[in-house]
Copies of this chain bind each other. A is one copy, B any other.
Amino acid sequence: MTAAPAAASTPEALTAILAQLRYTADGLIPAIAQQHDTGEVLMLAWMNRASIEETLQTGQVCYWSRSRQSFWRKGETSGQHQTLVEMRLDCDLDTLLLRVDQLGAACHTGRRDCFYRKVAGDKVIIDREPLVDPDTLYTH
């Protein structure tokens, strides 16, 4: 008789897990944002440890912008805030799943989500229209 599996559901300390995350050489980890109630996959962005901690503390999603090399507090300039509902970590500790409540458009194009291009045979089509004119998004 083999031992019972080590209690898989023993809670682990968050700080220990955050230290074990498999960040890239740049200290980043990909985070998928999913609308918590509809299941829509909204976007993928990157976080570092500080942005993860800030997100957990404030309940407002904060990414790390690779292009700007700075915190990217979602909604700070667009008003389209992302409120954290639940944070999940994957089996390999190298991806985060953020279940969020997205106000309005998650995408900088003004669309609800970023995945509006669909492969259709040998073509790629756009099958979602903006909710918001992107020219009006960044006036905050």
Contacts and interface: CB of A to CB of B under 8 A. Distances in A.
Given A30-B30, A115-B97, A90 B44 contact: yes
Interface of A is mostly: mixed
Contact of A123 (B8, B13, B107, B122): B13
A107 B91 contact: yes
A interface, size bucket: 35 or more
Nearest to A119: B87
A108 interface: yes
Q: How many copies does the complex hold?
A: 2
Contacts of A43: 90, 95
Contacts of A34: 39, 41
Given A30-B30, A32-B32, A116 B95 contact: no
Interface string A1-29: 00000001101111101000000000000
A44 B86 CA distance: 18
A74 to B, nearest CB: 15
State the 3 A-B residue pairs at the shortest beta-carbon distance, nearest first.
A39-B39, A11-B123, A88-B115
Interface of A: 8-9, 11-15, 17, 30, 32, 34, 38-41, 43-44, 56, 86-92, 95, 97, 107-109, 111, 114-127, 129
